[in-house]
Structure 1
Amino acid sequence: MFEAYEQITRLKNTIEQFSSFIINASTEKDLDEIFALAVDTCINLTGSDGATVYLKEVVDKEEKLVIKATKNLSVNFEFYLGYSIPISAISLCGYTALHKKPVVISDTLNLPENHEFRQFKFFDKSLHYVTINTISVPVFDFENDLLGVVQVINKKAKPSIKIDENNASLLTINYTETDIKIVLAVAALLGLIIDRFRTYEKNELSISNTQKMLYNVFESIKKSISTLNDILINGQQKFIEALQIENKEKLYSLKEGIELFKKEYELTKITETITTIAYIKNKDTDTKIVNTLHEVISTEIRPYDIPVKVKEDEYVIFFHNVDIIKAGMIAKRIERKTLEKLRLNDISVSTLNFTWSFYELKPDEEKSIEEILCFLQKKVNESDGETLK
């Protein structure tokens, strides 16, 4: 009798929580908030330690899964919010997206070597955590096109316990058929909501574009030929001003630069992408030269390269997907741009007293980033680096 009462209570709680999720998600206008609601609902209703919502987006001209919302009750996984993962069998969620079918695994540690699923261990290793079991389900739109993936991990024996790499096997239990249906239901609702949001955005854009077109036609008729040139010039100026978003020049501190690079480097291991680290020693003490170099480093490199100020006269640049030869060419360009800006400002300089050292970092590198930076710093300070010509 008591057992039946417990089952009825659990069922009532499940219905109430899921109904609350449906109501809140259906009325919420912020998509990120809806993703966060989905994560909380999955964790609460399946007894999971963590849950993640991935959305399919184009990253560097390639479709990937991007972490849009995530939560883990044992470790701080939100550090990886915004990270992207390839749509491939390299991970369980990637496999789910690639084959567009749910994946349920009860024991990831004992999968045979030739198993079609591969566990993505990067997050576990970086957080000293172990994923034992998981449910990954695809999210589809109304036309059955893939939008993303919802994943839950580590169903716990008790909600209050914390899991780590030492106790995970003991404290997790298998997911049930009900858990699978709950995650599938959450994913289905997310698909409908995302589809609704995107349809609304398309309609809004279409209306806006139509209004602009009609306005332009009306203006072209209304304005006389004599003032047309002024209109075009004025419009061009406004367009350029709109494009010139405030330039936030920034050189990272050594600590935040290393932290940012470590995050980027872990992902390069997956994509097997090289990185070249350039260390610069500026032996010129002239303030104008120092400021100009600072400006050039801040503005002339690509958005995904990481510029770091080590000391007043020393800098580091982490060049993503660049080999050591190309890094040397970029270094020459930085020197050339620095000279051009100095001369443009009527500062007479014939040569620059910069010393460079480079290190090509491969995905399987065993040295730590701190060791590499010490090595490069030593080279430039002992004048064993390169003086570019």
Structure 2
Amino acid sequence: MKAEQRQGIEEHRSLGERLQATRALTLALAEPLSDADATIQPNIDASPAKWHLAHTTWFLETFVLRDHVPGYGPVDERWAFLFNSYYEGEGARLERGRRGMITRPSLDEVRGWRARVDEAVQESLPTLGAEALTLIELGIHHEQQHQELFLTDILSTFAANPLEPAYAALPLRERVAAAPMAWLPGRDGVVEIGTDGRGFAFDCEGPRHRALLHPHALASRCVSNGEWQEFIADGGYDKAGLWLSEGWDWVSREGIRGPLYWNKDGSHFTLAGRRERDPAAPVAHVSYYEADAFARWAGARLPTEAEWEDRARLADAAGGHQLDRAGAVLPAAGGDWFGDVWNWTGSAYLSYPGFRPAEGTVGEYNGKFMSGQMVLKGASCATPRGHSRASYRNFFPPAARWQFTGVRLARDV
């Protein structure tokens, strides 16, 4: 056997093993749920757990098996209408706000569908060409994104239940005091940001390009729960001068008085149910509007995407508190640049110079959302370890806060 043949076999085997591990983790995340738990949609931002299991399966069945495996037939052609998310090229789909109405197929039927698709992908893997293998790689990273969404969405689901049920037990961590916040000088001048072409990256992470940084410093850690409590006690949610106009309208209209899931008694709702807040842990579930207002109150600002990325290139993207296995997750003190909470930046989610979306329907993945969104960097405690990197560009609308979103400050020097 030639060396290149052996290398090709090993690459196929490695891809297959990583896909299998990713798919298994999703099933493990769903293990604690009943069919009813997995069907509920608490709000239009969140999707039912069952929908996440089905959508990631539809992705592989559609873009890999249907398009690249001759003779493969879908388990049920009608399910494409239910589990397509936003791919216009794949035709009509169920309205997003009605995903919680999908009582059938059942959770067990979706599990069976996943098993059939997984088997078909693994069997066809040795015969697939480069395009299909690239789509499987994309499918792995796509599913990892949905694993984080799965956790944040089930948190939203259980938080809406007056019984405050726990998704899973939360291993007790020894509490540590928050480290003093230090200011780390960033580079100034022309730097390069964006994917360097090594390893997987989404299309929106490139092309690599130059950015100009002005003298600045970044906080050595994220803002803590205790510091956020000081912001509240000082009337931060009552001072219009701290807020962007849209942010103040949002706070006033929605009656926002603190981070999502916070209670007045010093507790907050978590994946393990109601728990006492750790004052040293990074604050989570805050919007861009809140992050920006806090930064003004603190005499600072939010970092730009380029500032954050240039500094984080020195950090271990697989470090910190990230998702390793099924179970409850919660931000904790003592993390690093990656993990615990995504960091809001002051940068809008826009295309880089020379950006071109991927060809075909999968090209709708990122580029079409470059309007009205803000960039977040890093990773959270619900991000599968190894999924993120310095060039990674997460993005959400400025009012979104059901994700594990937090704040790292910056300032001009």
Select the structure that is richer in helix.
1
Higher relative contact order (CA 8 A, sep 6+): 2
Name whichever structure is richer in strand by fraction. 1
TM-score, length basis structure 1:
0.22
Larger radius of gyration: 1
Q: What TM-score, normalized by structure 2, do the two folds share?
A: 0.22
